[in-house]
């Protein structure tokens, strides 16, 4: 899977690092501002306050934009899973057009395919992707054999279309899970703006004799919570926010019941 710049840290550690990052940024700015006050730096409260407001507004914009990217990708993964379940179910039902032995074999392959989808995290994603592609090839060979026996058959053509949809959904899913991550440049820009805005706010506090406040910790916790949420949305294989596989589990139950009847 494509690695993001923050993937080296587990989510709980990322949260703590972000809290420390905000507190350190504010402290650095505060100390610089206090030294400037001791040296009688002539910065006026009004311009510095405007800069603090502008940088915090820019940070809020970037947080909103990045959260939107993560949420959009999460929704896309959820929709493609439902679409894939529908495609597999349609292919399973259309396998009825095949002769008895081939119908049973294609159905078995589709059940195996769903099992691979559900056990992907346990077996390892690269292995699950490779096994899925092997199953695609086996199912496609059966469809080609049926088409050779019945050239121009509309039911067989519909089955091949359904299998093609299954393969297409697989490609989309792999692209979203393995490569659909928030770009590293966005993370870098977000942290640069965060450091600048927190530092300017600390500078304002130090320059104008504003002492440290408990509100600083609240700000650090709020920022870190949002960053944790964005990082969670951006990690499709771990974290508290995961796409529900209920549609695939329901499909597996349906297929096994139908195959056994």
Give per-residue pLDDT as tens, 122-160. 667 788 888 999 999 999 998 888 888 888 778 888 889
Chain-centroid distance, C-alpha 180: 7
pLDDT for 114: 93
Write the CA distances from 212 to 32, 39, 46, integer angstroms.
14, 20, 20
Instruction: Tell the burial category of 241 from Cβ atoms under 10 Å away from its Cβ (0-12, 13-18, 19+).
Output: middle
Q: Per-residue DSSP letters for 223-238?
A: HHHHHHHHHHHT-TTS
Q: Cβ distance 46 to 204 under 8 Å?
A: no
User: Rounded mean pLDDT of the chain?
Assistant: 86
Question: Model confidence at 118, in pLDDT bands (50, 70, 90)?
Answer: confident
Chain-centroid distance, C-alpha 68: 11
Average pLDDT (11-26) is 93
pLDDT for 209: 66
- Give the global pTM: 0.82
Instruction: Tell the burial category of 200 from Cβ atoms under 10 Å away from its Cβ (0-12, 13-18, 19+).
Output: buried
Q: How far apart are CA 116 and CA 245, in angstroms?
A: 12
Question: CB atoms < 10 A from the CB of 28, how many?
Answer: 16
Q: How far apart are CA 250 and CA 81, in angstroms?
A: 13
Average pLDDT (69-75) is 92
| Percent of the chain scoring above 90 in pLDDT | 44
Question: Model confidence at 60, in pLDDT bands (50, 70, 90)?
Answer: very high
Pick the more confident residue, 47 or 167. Answer: 167
Q: How far apart are CA 6 and CA 75, in angstroms?
A: 21
DSSP 150: S
Q: Cβ distance 200 to 47 under 8 Å?
A: no
Average pLDDT (24-44) is 76
């Amino acid at each position: 899977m494509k690695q993001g710049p923050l993937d080296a840290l587990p989510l709980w550690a990322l949260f703590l690092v972000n809290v420390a990052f905000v507190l350190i940024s504010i402290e650095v700015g505060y100390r610089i501002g206090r030294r400037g006050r001791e040296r009688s730096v002539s910065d006026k409260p009004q311009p510095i306050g405007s800069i603090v407001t502008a940088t915090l507004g820019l940070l809020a914009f970037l947080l909103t934009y990045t959260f939107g990217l993560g949420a959009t990708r999460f929704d896309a993964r959820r929709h493609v899973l439902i679409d894939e379940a529908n495609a597999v179910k349609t292919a399973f039902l259309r396998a009825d057009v095949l002769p008895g032995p081939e119908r049973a074999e294609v159905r078995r392959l589709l059940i195996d395919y769903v099992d691979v989808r559900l056990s992907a995290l346990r077996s390892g994603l690269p292995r699950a992707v490779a096994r899925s592609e092997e199953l695609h090839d086996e199912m496609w060979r059966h469809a080609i054999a049926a088409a050779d026996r019945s050239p121009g058959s509309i039911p067989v053509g519909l089955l091949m279309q359904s299998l093609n949809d299954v393969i297409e959904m697989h490609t989309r899913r792999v692209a979203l899970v393995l490569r659909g991550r928030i770009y590293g440049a966005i993370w870098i820009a977000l942290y640069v703006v965060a450091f600048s805005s927190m530092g300017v706010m600390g500078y304002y506090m130090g320059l104008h004799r504003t002492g440290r406040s408990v509100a600083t910790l609240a700000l650090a916790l709020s920022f870190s919570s949002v960053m944790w949420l964005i990082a969670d949305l951006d990690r499709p294989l771990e974290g508290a926010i995961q796409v529900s596989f209920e549609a695939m589990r329901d499909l597996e139950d349906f297929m096994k019941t139908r195959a056994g009847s």
